[in-house]
Structure formats: structure tokens, C-alpha cells
Structure 1
């Protein structure tokens, strides 16, 4: 079965009643955790972006604290998982500052996590890619915000 395009879905949604749309949303939320998380963001967090960012930052920090540092393999695997989750939370928010803030927090937490990360070429490459992505995203922001975020970015070790 081929899924419908966004345009086709938008047209079809216009013909549905409020009750049908509510049932469709709740049914969609039953099937995938990401759908529930997105719906939770849209219903409860979208109006309170600052608290959402703080909550995600706390989650990122908690994930780093929970990393099994016994073997470097587990550290690499866990950091990649944390980055995937961070990017998932970034996708939920349409606010560009949220993306920059969360990526900066991820990079800051990652680089200060362990000295073994600084000795790993793959981890430093991942870190550098995120810094480049942050630089690119900062260019899209307002000038005042650019200045603030560039200052934070320059504070991070390279």
C-alpha cells in the first residue's frame, strides 16, 4: 500500500468532522511512541517552549549520567543514541532557537563527559559535525540571538 501525499491528506482532513479527526488522532497515537510524543508536545508543551527545552536538557543530562562507561563501545553507542533522541525532540518543535539550544547542550555535555571521547576520532568527528550544524543553524536566527549563540559556541572546546 502506497501512503498518500501530504497534499492529499490535507484535502481529505477538510472533509472530516471534528469527532472523526479526534478518533483518527487517538488511533494514530496508539500505534507508535513517536506519534504519542509528538501529540504530547503539540497539546501540552508547544505553548511552553522554555519548559520543554529545560525538560529535554534534563533528559539529555540524565542520559549522559546513565551511560555505562565500563567499555568505550558502550559509551559510543550511548552517545549516538542520545544524539538520535535529541534530534527527535528537535523535530517536534518548529522553533529554530530550540534546535540550537538543544544541540549546544548536547555538545557541551558530550565534550565534558569523559576524556576518552577526546581521544576517539569517531567521537570527535561526530562532535565537529554537530558544531558545524549549529553554526549553520545560527545563521538563520535573528542577529541578537546569533551573537549570543555564537558566543556560547566559541566557548566550547574544539
Structure 2
């Protein structure tokens, strides 16, 4: 089966009735959890971005609490999983400020994590990679926001 392009999908969707569009969305949501999560974000949470950020931060807190700290192998696996989850939620939002807020929160949690990430090269690299990504993303924001987020980022390095 050949997948249609976005333009082809758009023209086909414009030809469908309102009820058909609803049925297509519901049918799409049955197939993959991510589709359902994206629809949930778009319908319920996109208008309340602050609440969305807070709910993700709570979820990240819970995931950090559940990390098995018996070995660095399990810690690395869990940290990568948390980061994947955060990046998935960032893709839903497409908001640069939300992205920076969530990545800053992740880096704060990682820096304060016990046992220290300084004892493991992979965890240090994840931390440095994300902080440098935050620096790049901050430059695309408005000057006032750049200043605020730069202060937050500097707190991570002190």
C-alpha cells in the first residue's frame, strides 16, 4: 500500500462531511495509543498549556520515583525512557516555550538525582546534550523569554 501525501490527504478530507470526519478521527484513535494521546491534547489540553506542562511534570516526578537505583544500567534505561516520553509530549505541543520548560525540568531532576549522574559518563552526556539543546532553542525565543530561560539554565550549571 502506498501512503498518500499530506496534500492528497488534505484535499480528500475537505471533500468529506462533518460526520465522516468524526468517524475517521475515532477510527484513527483506536489504532495507536499515540494517536489517542495527540487527539486528547488537541481537544482538551492545547488551550491550557500551563496545566499541560504541570501534568507532564507530575508524570516525570512519578517516573523518577520509580527508577530502579540498584545499578547504573537500570538508571540509564529509565532516564532514556523518561526523556523519550517528554519528547513525545513536546511533539504534541509544538510550542517552543513548553519544550524548554519540560527540558529544563528534566535537567533539574537529572542533576538532583541520587545517585549522582557525575559517576556515569552516559548520564553526564545525556545531561550535557539536553542543556546544549536548550541553549539553542532559547535563541529562537523573544528577548524577554530568552533572559528568563537563560537565568534558569545558568542555575543548572551553578
User: Do Structure 1 and Structure 2 share a fold, with TM-score over 0.5?
Assistant: yes
SS in 2 for 1:31: coil
Taking the TM superposition and a 5 Å limit, the aligned residue runs for 1:51-90 are 51-90=51-90
CA distance in 2, matches of 1:123, 1:71: 13
SS in 1 for 2:4: coil
CA distance in 2, matches of 1:140, 1:146: 8
Q: Alignment RMSD, CA only?
A: 1.0
Contact 2:30–2:36, Cα closer than 8 Å, also in 1: yes
| Other-structure match for 1:108 | 108
| Other-structure match for 1:29 | 29
String of CA shifts for 1:22-61, please: whole Å, max 9, x gaps. 0000000000000000000001000100000000011111
String of CA shifts for 1:32-91, please: whole Å, max 9, x gaps. 000000000001000100000000011111110111111211110000000000000000
Further displaced range: 4-13 or 114-123: 114-123
CA distance in 2, matches of 1:114, 1:80: 16
Contact 2:69–2:115, Cα closer than 8 Å, also in 1: no
CA offset at residue 116 of structure 1? 3.5
SS in 2 for 1:156: helix
Taking the TM superposition and a 5 Å limit, the aligned residue runs for 1:1-158 are 1-157=1-157
CA distance in 1, matches of 2:20, 2:46: 23
CA offset at residue 94 of structure 1? 2.3
* TM-score, normalising length: structure 2: 0.97
Q: Any runs of at least 4 consecutive aligned residues in structure 1 with deviations exceeding 4 A, and if so which?
A: none
SS in 1 for 2:144: helix
| Ranges in structure 1 where 5+ consecutive residues have no aligned partner | none
